């Protein structure tokens, strides 16, 4: 199966990137299991665990995971993910197996501040991808870009490589929007393993991306895999991120919904209903802690 790229996208051209050859490491049968990383402080928000880290601390943790060189994955959880965590039976086990769980939603951060251990800030995937590329440039890491519409991953990868010298493009692939056959999946697995990537960025949408990573990450052997949603589109220019003021107000979802109402209104409508119900339940629990009856 070959990757698909668009040649008609009206995006400004990007500088070409020459990919250096990947040196394959010789397997060491005597290699010992690396020691576990020290645990991070966590807090629960709406029954979902989140690591209490800033953006810079998240990037440092990802570097530790890369250096550990054992397959792992990171979840950037927004309000939609929290809703899916409650409504989809398999999502909690996907969350539990993640090595890093980041709060990619301002309502999550605000809700955490009502507890004794709050989250320090929102860690948005659309900003983290730039920080990862910067660190990859410093460390000479390879990043494999998987997913997105034809041409989007390619433009995203080349723009990041242009902006962050030293970052290696380990691979670019926009697979078809369907389940791969067994042979196609085996070929894709081999391409990713042979790439020598330190980071695998997946843009399959939520929760398809998280499910795909959870199913495949161990056999792919990439140290860190992350589902990053619309980040490829933001960098490629095929989607526009909300202005900063909308982000600070926690209304980035409103901006995105208005930009693509046919596709996003149903999704964000469900998110808003979930948020309303969660806040009502929070109020009920607060009233009970006060020793009051809801029937009073």
Give helix then strand counts, H and E, for the chain.
Answer: 12, 8
Q: What is the pLDDT of residue 10?
A: 42
pLDDT along the chain (296 residues), means of 10: 40 49 48 78 95 98 97 95 93 97 93 90 95 97 95 96 96 90 94 97 94 96 93 88 66 63 68 73 63 59
Task: Tell me the C-alpha distance between 187 and 182, whole Å.
Answer: 9
Nearest one of 200, 257, 253 to 223, comparing CA atoms: 200
Instruction: Looking at 102-251, list the stretches that DSSP marks H as alpha helix, in order from N- to C-terminal side.
Output: 106-112, 125-139, 152-163, 182-194, 208-220, 231-236, 244-248
Q: What is the pLDDT of residue 240?
A: 72
> Residue 229, Cα to own-chain centre: how many angstroms?
6
Element containing residue 268 per DSSP (H, E): helix 261-289
- Ordered by start, the domain boundaries in the chain are 42-239, 244-295
Task: Tell me the C-alpha distance between 200 and 218, whole Å.
Answer: 12
Q: What is the pLDDT of residue 291?
A: 60
Q: What is the pLDDT of residue 115?
A: 81
Q: Are 145 and 192 in contact (CB under 8 A)?
A: no
């Amino acid at each position: 199966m070959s990757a698909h790229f668009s040649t008609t996208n009206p995006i400004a051209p990007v500088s070409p990137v020459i990919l250096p050859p990947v040196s394959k490491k010789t397997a060491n049968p005597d290699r010992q299991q690396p020691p576990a990383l020290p645990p991070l402080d966590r807090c629960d928000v709406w029954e979902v665990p989140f690591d209490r880290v800033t953006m810079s601390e998240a990037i440092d943790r990802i570097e530790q995971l890369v250096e550990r060189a054992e397959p792992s994955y990171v979840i950037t959880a927004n309000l939609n993910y929290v809703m899916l965590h409650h409504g989809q039976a398999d999502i909690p086990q996907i969350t539990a197996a993640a090595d890093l769980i980041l709060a990619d939603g301002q309502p999550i951060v605000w809700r955490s501040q009502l507890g004794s251990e709050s989250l320090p800030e929102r860690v948005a995937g659309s900003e983290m991808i730039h920080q990862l590329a910067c660190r990859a440039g410093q460390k000479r890491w390879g990043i494999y870009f998987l997913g997105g519409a034809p041409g989007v991953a390619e433009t995203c990868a080349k723009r990041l490589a242009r902006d962050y010298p030293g970052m290696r493009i380990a691979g670019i692939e926009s697979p078809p929007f369907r389940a791969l056959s067994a042979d196609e999946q085996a070929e894709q697995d081999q391409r990713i393993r042979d790439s020598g990537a330190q980071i695998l960025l997946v843009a399959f949408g939520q929760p398809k991306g998280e499910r795909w990573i959870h199913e495949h990450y161990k056999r792919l052997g990439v140290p860190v895999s992350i589902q990053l949603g619309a980040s490829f589109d933001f960098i490629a220019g095929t989607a526009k991120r909300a202005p900063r003021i909308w982000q600070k107000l926690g209304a980035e979802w409103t901006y995105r919904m208005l930009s693509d109402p046919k596709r996003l209104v149903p999704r964000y409508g469900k998110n808003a209903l979930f948020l309303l119900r969660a806040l009502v339940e929070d109020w009920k629990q607060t009233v009970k802690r006060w020793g009051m009856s809801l029937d009073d």
